[in-house]
Amino acid sequence: MNNFGELEKLMIYAYTSSDYSEDPVDEYSVYYNPEEYSKIMNVEYNTAQGDGTTALPGSFRRIKPNELNFKFIFDGTGASGKKIEVHDKVESFFNVVGYDGAIHRPRYLKIIWGKLESKCVLTKADVKYKMFYPDGKPLRAYIECTFIEIRDDRTRVAEADDSSPDLSHFIIVKDGDSLPSLCYQIYGDKNYYIKIAEVNKLNNFSKLEPGQTLIFPPVI
């Protein structure tokens, strides 16, 4: 537990495994805590409407993963009592949260700050540099970031009780998963695996990659 009055910095931990089972491979402590952040919930509805029918709110389809939006500040003026190389700090930030050649994709992240604890991935980052030295080196930078929270679809289904095969499901592949077993889990019939392989454009359905996302559409 932190001592009373101690400033708790927002931390970002980076992982290479989608199940977060191993220790983080890197971490980042923000220079300044954000003044605010937003958490956006997106709900999808089916909007198809038959000819001649009255316009009504669409039937519920699914709750998409939440978005988290932050604005991080990097200040090299020394106003806080400590000068930093802004460009180097920005590069360090992206080294932690960005693409990892070892897994051929962006890293899995965990953001922790106060009561916020979110498993997520970075989907967008807009960097703006302001104030410069005479040689062009930046003195200040702002990064507006969007993260998408990672939700274990099997946990979500259990909590929402929406495991009906009439709904679309998005599942993040875990170690040991196979397409027939996932089809049995969703549809109660493993023989749908050929159709699901076609939907997801899988060249080799017998070798799923942990971390990839598969869509399981409603049974027709």
Residue-wise pLDDT for 159-216, tens only, equals 444 445 556 677 888 888 899 999 888 888 888 999 999 888 888 888 888 888 888 8
Q: What CATH number corresponds to the domain at position 127? A: 2.40.30
Q: Write down which residue in 123, 149, 175 finishes a domain.
A: 149
pLDDT at 1: 47
Report if residue 2 sits inside a domain. Answer: no
For the chain, what is the radius of gyration of the CA atoms?
A: 22
Whole-number Å distance between alpha carbons of 18 and 150: 9
pLDDT, the chain, mean: 83
Instruction: Please measure the distance between the N-terminal and C-terminal CA atoms of the chain and give it in whole angstroms.
Output: 53
**Judgement on whether residues 95 and 200 belong to the same structural domain of the protein:** no
Q: Write down which residue in 103, 130, 149 finishes a domain.
A: 149
Tally of domains within the chain: 2
**Judgement on whether residues 209 and 100 belong to the same structural domain of the protein:** no
Q: Looking at this protein, which amino acid is placed at residue 38? A: S
Domain with 67, as residue range(s), is 11-149
pLDDT at 161: 42
**Judgement on whether residues 19 and 82 belong to the same structural domain of the protein:** yes
